Amino acid sequence: MTTATGGSPQSYDAIVIGAGFAGLYQLHLLRDRLGLKTRVLETADGVGGTWYWNRYPGARCDSESHSYRYFFSKELHESWDYSERYPGQEEIRAYLNHVADKLALRPDIQLSTKVTAAAWDEAAGRWTVTTEAGERFACQWLITAVGCLSSANVPNIPGLEDFRGEWHHTGRWPHEGVDFAGKRVGQVGTGSTGIQAVPVIAETAGSLTVFQRTANYSVPARNGPLNEQRKKEWRDNFEEVRKLVQSTPNAHPFRISTDRALDQDEATRLERYQKAWDIGGLRFRAVFHDLLLSKEANDTAAEFLKGKIREIVKDPETARILSDIDHPYAAKRPPIDTNYFDTFNLDHVSVVDVRADPIRRIVPEGIELESGAVHELDVIVFATGFDAMTGPLLSIDFQGAGGRRLRDDWAAGPKTWVGVAIPGYPNLFTVTGPGSPSVLANMIVPIEQHVEWIADCIETMRREGVERIEATPAAAEAWMAHVGDAANATLLPQAGHSWYLGANVPGKPRVFMPYAGGMVRFRQICDAVAARGYEGFAMGAPADPAAPPPPVLAEMTGPDAPPLPGYPADARTSLVEAPGV
């Protein structure tokens, strides 16, 4: 199929940007259920989204494999087995390729196509989407499926261009891999990614120096192969697993205890932490209900985990640096690992505390610290994270109604109505945009919920002959206030340097971006918005800037909000049970 570079743009009903989990499913629903002429535009030369780009050593999902897959089709479910408790990057990419084939999606996916701009044409009631190559597409509905963590954050450290060795960001890893054999490797960053990468890089590197700015907790993943019986169990229990992940606030396949840490005596608490440590993974966060609600409760878990670091790491100074953690457990996204702390017992692996002695610059031979010390390196690995949530959207020049620009509208922070719609940007839907539970949940579940909600919304519009939908400014204001309230009911904002707050990117406004009220409550709110005729949206006409906030939000989150199935009454206003992946 050809696309226009001049003259009239190619015309579609819907354009989807991105071919990861969200984009593939969105295409399937719009094309195969609604019969829309739909095209997916994808920067990469393959499908997979985050799993296409993040090929760094040790890249693996922290969600358990029976929960990290689509749940919309039993047939699809039965056609695929993962091989380990946590799926590795290659296997997830293979799964998504399998899905693309099974659903015959490829003919409608245009790879190697980077969207750079999108402008709303009010007279035509359509978006014009422009790519880096100058191709243009017109569509009535535009859906971003660009992921939350796809804009790599390479820190602006002076001198990088003079470095004589090679450097790589984990989120843009070379497809041919990186040969560390015998090399002096420096890794900057100890988030979830860095903690996965260290043990694997150490296997072949001549030396590995980890530059740590913020020490981090980590719980053993206890990964391992799934035997045939376990695979069959996950295949046979599709309905149960689906119901479970759709009924937990973090969309993981485990329930969070309703017990409170502070109600237990110390021996019981320790016993339960030890048991969770032995089981491994994000389930550690589920041991007690109050771990993110009470600092005192959190301290009990934090002390247990710091004690483990001191137990594992033999050199006392290394153990001190690694366990000198300044934030509550799980206030930043909690990593899980395979032999992370043990790796520091190897003679060729060391940690440098760059909070005490910050990185001053990069010099041709390596990394220089403020003290003047120079660490000579052949390879630098930046495991320095992402310009999260807003970064991927703002990398596209969105021009909404009346020529307004998203970059200006979000200068003080993002604003969406229920994470999927932006006032001033009609017929634009954002899958897992700011204000969605997204990264505080097992991503697949919010992705499926958003994609289905968007498809239902478009179906309703078509049925009712409505051409245009736009969130009202008051709805987005009210939603972001609620997103802030939900976060403030927890310890999450106490990790002042977290990417949830945008604090990892210099100059980025400090706004808590994901919705911490839990996926179950979120789904209830979205369903109510739709059931009440898309409250908070203007249907068929531009949004009234003076429209009042939609009553649905106050009703769904206030004291008379409907109960959440299976949760205690005091889990009403904010669940905040277990931020996960």
Among positions 257-276, residues that touch ligand N01 (CB under 6 A) are none
Burial of 249 per CB tally in 10 Å (0-12, 13-18, 19+): buried
Which stretch, 240-248, 302-310, 379-387, 397-405, contacts ligand N01 (CB under 6 A)? 379-387
Considering only CA atoms, which of 60, 51, 81 is closest in space to residue 226? 81
Q: Is 581 in the site for ligand N01 (CB under 6 A)?
A: yes
Q: Which is nearer to ligand N01, 500 or 567 (CB)?
A: 500
- Interacting residue with ligand N01 among 202, 354, 478, 511 (CB under 6 A): 354
Rounded Cα gap, residues 295 and 576, in angstroms: 14
Q: Is 89 in the site for ligand N01 (CB under 6 A)?
A: no
Rounded Cα gap, residues 554 and 123, in angstroms: 35
- Interacting residue with ligand N01 among 333, 508, 521, 572 (CB under 6 A): 333
Q: Which is nearer to ligand N01, 62 or 108 (CB)?
A: 62
Which stretch, 69-77, 93-101, 264-272, 378-386, contacts ligand N01 (CB under 6 A)? 378-386
Residue 187's DSSP bridge partners are: 210, 381
Q: Is 287 in the site for ligand N01 (CB under 6 A)?
A: no
- Interacting residue with ligand N01 among 18, 191, 281, 366 (CB under 6 A): 191
Q: Is 334 in the site for ligand N01 (CB under 6 A)?
A: no
Q: Is 193 in the site for ligand N01 (CB under 6 A)?
A: yes
Q: Is 61 in the site for ligand N01 (CB under 6 A)?
A: yes
Give, rounded to a whole angstrom, the gap between the first and last alpha carbons of the chain.
Answer: 38
How far is CA 356 from each of CA 259, 280, 345, 385, rounded to the nearest angstrom?
Answer: 39, 31, 22, 21
Q: Which is nearer to ligand N01, 385 or 391 (CB)?
A: 385
How many chain residues interact with ligand N01 (CB under 6 A)? 27
**Sign of the four-CA dihedral 17, 20, 22, 25:** positive
Which stretch, 4-12, 99-107, 384-392, 413-421, contacts ligand N01 (CB under 6 A)? 384-392
What residue has token string 């498809």?
455
Q: Is 140 in the site for ligand N01 (CB under 6 A)?
A: no
- Interacting residue with ligand N01 among 26, 110, 190, 472 (CB under 6 A): 190
Considering only CA atoms, which of 277, 317, 281, 325 is closest in space to residue 497? 325
Q: Is 445 in the site for ligand N01 (CB under 6 A)?
A: no
Q: Which is nearer to ligand N01, 36 or 383 (CB)?
A: 383
Which stretch, 158-166, 256-264, 382-390, 403-411, contacts ligand N01 (CB under 6 A)? 382-390
Q: Are 14 and 139 in contact (CB under 8 A)?
A: yes
DSSP annotation string for 272-336: HHHHHHHH-SGGGGGS-TTTTT-HHHHHHHHHHHHHHHHHH--SHHHHHHHH---S-TTTSPPPE
Q: Are 245 and 63 in contact (CB under 8 A)?
A: no
3-class SS at 198? Answer: helix
Q: Is 314 in the site for ligand N01 (CB under 6 A)?
A: no
- Interacting residue with ligand N01 among 19, 143, 439, 501 (CB under 6 A): 439
Considering only CA atoms, which of 437, 514, 513 is closest in space to residue 249? 437
- Interacting residue with ligand N01 among 213, 295, 404, 405 (CB under 6 A): 213
Q: Is 188 in the site for ligand N01 (CB under 6 A)?
A: yes
Q: Is 499 in the site for ligand N01 (CB under 6 A)?
A: yes
Q: Which is nearer to ligand N01, 499 or 534 (CB)?
A: 499
Neighbour count for residue 505 (Cβ, 10 Å): 18
* Least Å from the CB of residue 444 to ligand N01: 10
* Tokens linked to 228: 């045939």
Rounded Cα gap, residues 201 and 189, in angstroms: 14
Which stretch, 184-192, 233-241, 389-397, 565-573, contacts ligand N01 (CB under 6 A)? 184-192
Q: Is 385 in the site for ligand N01 (CB under 6 A)?
A: yes
Which stretch, 188-196, 342-350, 392-400, 469-477, contacts ligand N01 (CB under 6 A)? 188-196
- Interacting residue with ligand N01 among 194, 328, 437, 517 (CB under 6 A): 194
Q: Is 390 in the site for ligand N01 (CB under 6 A)?
A: no
Q: Is 189 in the site for ligand N01 (CB under 6 A)?
A: yes
What kind and span of H or E run contains 10? strand 10-17
- Interacting residue with ligand N01 among 38, 318, 449, 504 (CB under 6 A): 504
Rounded Cα gap, residues 439 and 206, in angstroms: 35
Phi-psi domain of 397 (left: phi exceeds 0; alpha: psi -120 through 50; beta: other): beta
* Least Å from the CB of residue 120 to ligand N01: 31
Neighbour count for residue 516 (Cβ, 10 Å): 27
Q: Is 220 in the site for ligand N01 (CB under 6 A)?
A: no
State the residues that interact with ligand N01 by CB under 6 A: 61-62, 149, 155, 188-194, 196, 211, 213-214, 333, 354, 359, 383-386, 439, 497, 499, 504, 581
